[in-house]
Structure 1
Amino acid sequence: LDPPLLSKATKPRDDCVVFLKSRAADLGLPISVFEVAPRKPVVVISWFGSQPQLPSLLLNSHMDVVPVFPEKWSHAPFSADTDSKGNIYARGSQDMKCVGIQYLEAVGRLMKANQKMK
């Protein structure tokens, strides 16, 4: 896996923010990035409904990764290597990043199906 957007990152955590900004733009959704602590951005992508006074739904995931011990890995932990079966070997690949992508994919599919939120 070699997402081309990652080359635009200027700080270690910028790669996730760059990717999320690009995905939000693809979906036509507004995005806000809040730097609540140094190097710990909070990214909010919004999909507004037709009745904003109604209660909201928050889909939450995180994008940080805890430190690794590379010597304990059979693949480089941050390389996102894939094997012949399609398994992905990457630190955090089965953590909350997959959930965040699932949220974005679900919203994108709902929008493509012309579903409207109230």
Structure 2
Amino acid sequence: MRSGGDDPPFRYVESGEWPDVVLRPDTPLSAYAGLVLARRLATALKIVDWSANGVAVRAGLSAPAVRSVIAGETAITLPTLIRLESALQARLYPMDLLDVSAVDLYGVDLEARFPATQGLFPTGGPGA
């Protein structure tokens, strides 16, 4: 368990193989962010044809740290995120996680699961 109280993202897998997984109903928002970030990082590496080692060198990180983020074994830190986004010139953090479209995408009623989000979403669903 991390100091924030949440386990690493991969610990919340209900089915599938990381990162093509379905997360458990009790999954915290941080794990959804970790899953999306891992998928985006893996996709960005394919697009630019870099390995974890390649992006690690360009970002000033260790390759094991990059592989750990992709595998969902650790929550990414802000400095690591900034270095990766800078090296890849790509947004990795899921800024849309609290958007209504993200509710549909992740199959989670965020207002019900995370009371602090009450009132953040328009009523009537997407496009309302």
So what's the TM-score if we normalise by structure 1? 0.35
Provide the TM-score with structure 2 as the length reference.
0.33
**Going by fraction, where is helix more abundant, 1 or 2?**
2
Larger Cα-atom Rg: 1
